[in-house]
């Protein structure tokens, strides 16, 4: 079963002996419940690392189109995390997977400023990076969670990295709509936990009291199970994550 936003508001009204409503816009309180539901959704989405399994997408990076930043691509605004920081780039008809490096590791590569095969590229921060200009990229990083920066580019093939040659695999953020019939975009096994988290937060924020013990117990158990599940999924080696937080 998947909840709609209205059904969540109605459940809170029923549990607190509130008046029956046929829209989330019936009162100030019901609109507050809807906003709490929105905040709880994004909180649970952040907690749920396994959420990669239900909102993953293949997607292209965005073209920066700045010849002064030939090794830069932009992370799509709707993507908030790259699963295991995976990105591929099309090289001679084959997708080559690039290795993600932490920013400090990436900077360790960018040290040769004298080679004729290096272009000095100024980052948006104003820092200059020596970037190899005669080969396809092998490594990438992100200094700000917005732009992807590679260690090299092949100037004989393209003056800048091309968006159509990229392939990202990662979690795309869902947009929560404040609408009566908006269906909560969570997998069914998380719907009960989400409902209880919404109820618990509404009790505390709107009624300034603890939720019933059964609701609080279910929330605690559900979050504990979610944490255990998250520990069992994902990369078994070194995780290489970045993205919007």
Please report the DSSP string for 94-145 in residue order: EEEEEEE--HHHHHHH----S-TTEEEEE-TTS-EEEEE-BS---EEE-SSS
Residue 106 has pLDDT above 50, yes or no: yes
pLDDT in the model for residue 73: 95
Which tens digit of pLDDT belongs to each residue from 21-41?
999 999 999 999 999 999 999
State the pTM of this model. 0.58
Separation between Cα atoms, residue 52 and residue 71, nearest integer Å: 28
pLDDT in the model for residue 96: 96
pLDDT in the model for residue 236: 37
**In terms of Cα–Cα distance, which of 111, 119, 204, 101 is closest to 156?**
119
Q: With bands split at pLDDT 50, 70 and 90, how would you rate the model's confidence at 46?
A: confident
Q: With bands split at pLDDT 50, 70 and 90, how would you rate the model's confidence at 173?
A: low
DSSP string, 66-93: -TTSTTEEE--TTEEEEEEEEEEEEETT
pLDDT in the model for residue 30: 96
SS3 for 178?
A: coil
Contact by Cβ (8 Å): 74, 64: yes
Residue 149 has pLDDT above 70, yes or no: yes
**In terms of Cα–Cα distance, which of 241, 244, 238, 245 is closest to 86?**
241
Residue 47 has pLDDT above 80, yes or no: no
The b/e string for 13-42 (b: 16+ C-beta within 10 A; e otherwise) is beeeebeebeebebeebbebbbebbbebbe
pLDDT in the model for residue 172: 67
Q: Which two tokens stand for residue 154?
A: 């092949």
Separation between Cα atoms, residue 100 and residue 84, nearest integer Å: 9
Which tens digit of pLDDT belongs to each residue from 183-239?
998 888 899 999 999 999 999 999 999 999 999 999 999 999 887 766 543 443 444
């Amino acid at each position: 079963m998947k909840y709609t936003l209205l059904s969540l508001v109605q459940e809170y009204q029923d549990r607190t002996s509130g008046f029956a409503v046929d829209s989330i816009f019936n009162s100030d309180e019901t609109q507050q419940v809807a906003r709490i539901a929105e905040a709880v959704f994004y909180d649970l989405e952040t907690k749920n690392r396994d959420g990669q399994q239900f909102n993953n997408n293949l997607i292209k990076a965005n073209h920066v189109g700045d010849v002064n930043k030939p090794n830069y691509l932009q992370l799509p605004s709707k993507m908030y995390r790259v699963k295991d920081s995976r990105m591929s780039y099309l090289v001679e008809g084959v997708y080559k997977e690039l290795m993600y490096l932490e920013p400090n590791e990436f900077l360790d590569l960018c040290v040769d400023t004298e080679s004729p095969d290096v272009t000095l590229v100024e980052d948006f921060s104003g820092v200059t990076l020596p970037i190899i200009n005669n080969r396809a990229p092998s490594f990438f990083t992100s200094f700000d969670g917005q732009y992807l920066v590679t260690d090299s580019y092949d100037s004989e093939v393209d003056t800048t990295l091309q968006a159509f040659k990229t392939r990202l695999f990662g979690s795309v953020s869902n947009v929560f709509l404040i609408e009566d019939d908006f269906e909560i975009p969570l997998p069914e096994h998380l719907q009960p936990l989400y409902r209880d988290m919404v109820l618990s937060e509404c009790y505390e924020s709107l009624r300034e009291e603890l939720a019933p013990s059964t609701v609080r117990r279910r929330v605690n158990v559900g979050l504990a199970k979610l944490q255990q599940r998250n520990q069992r999924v994902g990369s078994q080696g070194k995780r290489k994550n970045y993205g919007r937080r």
